[in-house]
Amino acid sequence: MTPSRSIRATALGPDGAREVTRALPEEVPVAVTCNGTTQAVMMCTPADLEDFARGFAFTEGYARPEQVERVEIIEADQGIEARLWIAEEAAEALGARRRAMMGPVGCGLCGIESLEEALRELPPVTGALVLDAGEAAGAAEALRAHQPLHDLTHAVHAAGFYVPRQGIVLAREDVGRHNALDKLIGALLRAGIDPASGAIVITSRVSVEMVQKAVLAGCPALIAVSAPTAHALRLAEGAGLTVAAFARGRRIEAFTHTHRIVTGETDVA
Just list the catalytic residues.
107
Region for 241 from its dihedrals, namely left if φ exceeds 0, alpha if ψ lies in -120 to 50, beta otherwise:
beta
Q: What is the DSSP letter of 102?
A: B
Rounded distance, CA 188 to CA 199, Å?
Answer: 12
With b for 16 or more beta-carbon neighbours within 10 A and e for fewer, the 198-214 pattern comes to bbbbbbbebbbbbbbbb
CA torsion, points 107, 226, 56, 59, in degrees to nearest 10? Answer: -110
Rounded distance, CA 256 to CA 148, Å?
Answer: 31
Contacting residues for 174 by C-beta, under 8 A, at least 6 apart: 44, 45, 47, 52, 106, 156, 157, 180, 183
